[in-house]
Amino acid sequence: SARDSQIFIIGCGISGIGAAQKLLKHGFHNVHIIEATARSGGRIRTGRLGDNIVEIGANWIHGPSKENPVFRLACDYQLLDKESMSEENQAIDIGGHPLFVPNWFTSSGRKLGPETMGPAVEFFMNLLERSQQFHDSGGEPLPSVGEFIKAEVERLAPEEWKEDQANIAIRMAMINTLLKLECCVSGTHTMDDVGLGAFGMYKTLPGLDCTFPGGYEGLIDHMMKELPSDIVLYNKPVKCIHWNYTKNGPDSKGMLFPIMIECVNGETFAADHVIVTVPLGYLKKHQNTFLSPTFPLHKLHSIQRMGFGTNNKIFLEFEQPFWDEDCELIYLVWEDETHLADVVSDMKMSWIRKLIGFTVLKPTERYGHVLCGWIAGRESEYMETLSELEVLHSVTQLLRLFTGNPTITPRKLLRSQWFHDPYSCGSYSYAAKGCSAYDIDNLAEPLPLKGSKPLQVLFAGEATHGSFFSTVHGALLSGWREAERLVSHYTPASGSFSSKL
């Protein structure tokens, strides 16, 4: 039967796991996942800092409400606390920007109050909201979000804050911090790289972002338990997928397999279909060798055009907090950054300026005093090349400068290194300057679309979801989508005979 067809999924992240789950549910039984590393989960990765668990990859369920499949699974598996599941939390709609209780520290060791900084945050959030609206209305005045926001700040800020001249400089510096924070959210080097017209392609769901008390990887563990235990072939990086391939031997029915998967270790697998879920960063890096024959031009161009950047975390553990008890987000503001320009002239000396600040891990009873620092872009990639001790030294100096306390010493540090991870090549995708919905359609388009042997190579993964790219739920939905594409390919249209069976 058609359900006998050989299907291989490349990558055991949540999109690959989701695809396997759905195919098995529909009766396909020759399904395997080929994974480059020794573990499942990909960019969902829970690590340890002393006695604490910390998320090295994905952190939150963005928009945890009924429509979010990750939320539904997490509820079914009972992985969330009561509050996260409450109807009240599900109904909160903040448009993707949780209002964390902030503390502001500046480079002269001052701690500033909400009356000084609050207006800058409000002003910025308004510009961000306006940036998202060009997707529906069209007519974007500038190519990128960064250029738009900077132009609007220059135009509007003097008027907006004219009654409060004394604070203009510090608020401009604050806007710089907020732009850097937005680089972390979008996973990009600069907001000048994020397309203004495409920014609004990203859609949010209602629900107050929540975390997994036992770690995000618990979700992966539960999903894996529902799959046959031998479904994943670990430690087998795929080197090349040969499609329209004619040199395979015949299958049990004497048919030729159209695909040959070639692994780095020389092993090969014959298949009818392969679902590729490797990160966009990996595809960009290996665009000339990963497929043979290579990608059609329109697909290749979209792989090149869509953005994929780096956002890293630096976890720090302290004996005592230097922040307020209710603080959820610590902003670092450089008082000399009063001009809106993202230039780091000397990477070695100044990379640390890109660190926007820290989220506070809550609740304290569970974590103790742990902060998670956020840093994106090329400075983040440079940080990855430094030793843990060098990073610790730089962060310690930074904290002493900003708190004015020369004795502050973090007692432990752990940082992520997503750019140098050979199977991620960065953190997640964004809609780059010049991108449109067509680019994501192109990324998701199967090869070949038509012909006597269609749908040989299918594409899933976070970057292929039109509105939830860069998220775990987008990744999961994309895996389900490609599995369903195969299911309907083999399902006769009602009332008519299908030659596909």
Q: Is 14 in the site for ligand 6YU (CB under 6 A)?
A: yes
Give the largest Cα separation in the chain, rounded: 82
Pairwise CA distance, residues 85 & 154, whole Å: 42
Pairwise CA distance, residues 236 & 138, whole Å: 45
Pairwise CA distance, residues 4 & 6, whole Å: 6
CB of 443 to ligand 6YU, least distance (A): 12
Q: Closest by alpha carbon to 44, among 66, 70, 13? A: 13
Pairwise CA distance, residues 184 & 313, whole Å: 10
* 85/168 with CB nearer ligand 6YU: 85
Q: Is 185 in the site for ligand 6YU (CB under 6 A)?
A: yes
Paired sense of beta strands 273-276 and 7-10, if any: parallel
Q: Which of 9, 44, 120, 178 binds ligand 6YU (CB under 6 A)?
A: 44
Q: Is 10 in the site for ligand 6YU (CB under 6 A)?
A: yes
Beta-carbon count within 10 A of 404 CB: 14
Task: Fill in the DSSP letter of residue 393.
Answer: H
Q: Which of 65, 84, 116, 186 binds ligand 6YU (CB under 6 A)?
A: 186
Q: Pattern 198-237, binding to ligand 6YU, x per CB under 6 A?
A: ----x----------------------------------x
Q: Closest by alpha carbon to 130, among 108, 162, 156, 164? A: 156
Place of tokens 């008890």: 325
Site for ligand 6YU in 60-99 (CB under 6 A): 60, 62, 96
* 195/410 with CB nearer ligand 6YU: 195
CB of 357 to ligand 6YU, least distance (A): 14
Q: Is 100 in the site for ligand 6YU (CB under 6 A)?
A: no
Q: Is 150 in the site for ligand 6YU (CB under 6 A)?
A: no
Q: Pattern 353-392, binding to ligand 6YU, x per CB under 6 A?
A: ----------------------------------------
* 152/462 with CB nearer ligand 6YU: 462
Q: How far is CA 452 from CA 249, 258, 275, 488, 500, in A?
A: 18, 11, 19, 16, 10
Report CA dihedral (145, 147, 151, 157) to the nearest 10 degrees. Answer: 60
Q: Is 43 in the site for ligand 6YU (CB under 6 A)?
A: yes
- Interacting residue ranges for ligand 6YU, rule: CB under 6 A: 10-16, 34-37, 42-44, 57-60, 62, 96, 185-186, 202, 237-238, 277-279, 282, 311, 313, 416, 418, 423-424, 427-428, 461-462, 470-472, 475
